[in-house]
Amino acid sequence: MNLIIDAGNSLIKISVFREKIEIYHDQFALSEFVMHIKQVFDVYPDITDGIISSVGMLDKKDMAVVSLFCDVHLLTNQTKTPFKNSYATPETLGVDRVALATAAFYHNPSGNTLVVDAGTCITYDMVNDYGEYIGGAISPGIHMRYKALHQQTAKLPLLEKEDIIDFIGNSTNTSIHSGVVNGVTAELNGIIEQYNQRFNNLTVILTGGDALFLSKRTKNTIFANPKFLLEGLNCLLEYNKK
């Protein structure tokens, strides 16, 4: 069994995989990390290997806790990948994007795949039909846009995302919702269309915390998979075990 740990910007997500099948999943705050890790190993003592992808939340002490129970691989820019990495600055490529590119490679090994991760940031990652990661884009996520409007102005309130009835807002709140939600939707559709024009038979995977919220708003054919990154980490762990 494999333990998969994704320490993102907002939450820590963990999964237990038996080969390619996820048999357990949870997410929680950093303060609950040690407690949850101990509980997982109590329930699944047959876990032999783990992988940690962290964008900065976990410190060395947290990671050392996991190594008490199993062999642990810390995902870095030195980790072996099954795809060719053609990013101009591979040393700056986020480990989350490495995991997503791996998932894309295994999901569609001989095709063109664009992965859109709608989380704290929205990232776009492209793996072409040669099995080559060529890059993508990074933009602010939905909550970051709401937060910026509130923090960078004197009077605009901090709102949480919600469905918009019309793209024309008739109050300050509905105007903010329209600007954020309609703006993200327009960005998503526009960028996917750019990739569609360049790459034949493009497969688009939408993942991340806001994947399901955004999936119904896209006019392109996409596949929503909120756990795509975790699947990619499991594939990376298996690849590096070999």
172 labelled ligand-binding: yes
Tell me whether strands 12-18 and 2-7 are parallel, antiparallel or unpaired: antiparallel
For residue 130, give every residue at least 6 positions away whose Cβ sits within 8 Å of its Cβ, in sequence order, or none: 84
210 labelled ligand-binding: no
8 labelled ligand-binding: yes
> What is the longest distance spanned by two Cα atoms in the chain?
58
CA atoms within 13 Å, Cβ hemisphere of 12: 24
Whether 166 is catalytic is no
224 labelled ligand-binding: no
88 labelled ligand-binding: no
Point out the catalytic residue in the list 46, 49, 71, 96.
96
94 labelled ligand-binding: yes
Q: Look up residue 222 and give its two tokens.
A: 């996409």
9 labelled ligand-binding: yes
Tell me if 128 sits within 8 A of 199, measured CB to CB: yes
CA distances to 139, 140, 143 from 156, in Å: 21, 18, 14
11 labelled ligand-binding: yes
97 labelled ligand-binding: yes
120 labelled ligand-binding: yes
110 labelled ligand-binding: no
- The residue behind tokens 């991760």 is 117
Sign of CA dihedral 20, 119, 138, 197: positive
96 labelled ligand-binding: yes
217 vs 209: CA distance, rounded Å: 15
173 vs 63: CA distance, rounded Å: 42
Q: Which residues are catalytic?
A: 96
> Which residues contribute to the annotated binding site for K(+)?
117
> Which residues contribute to the annotated binding site?
6-13, 87, 94-97, 117, 120, 172
> Which residues contribute to the annotated binding site for ATP?
6-13, 120
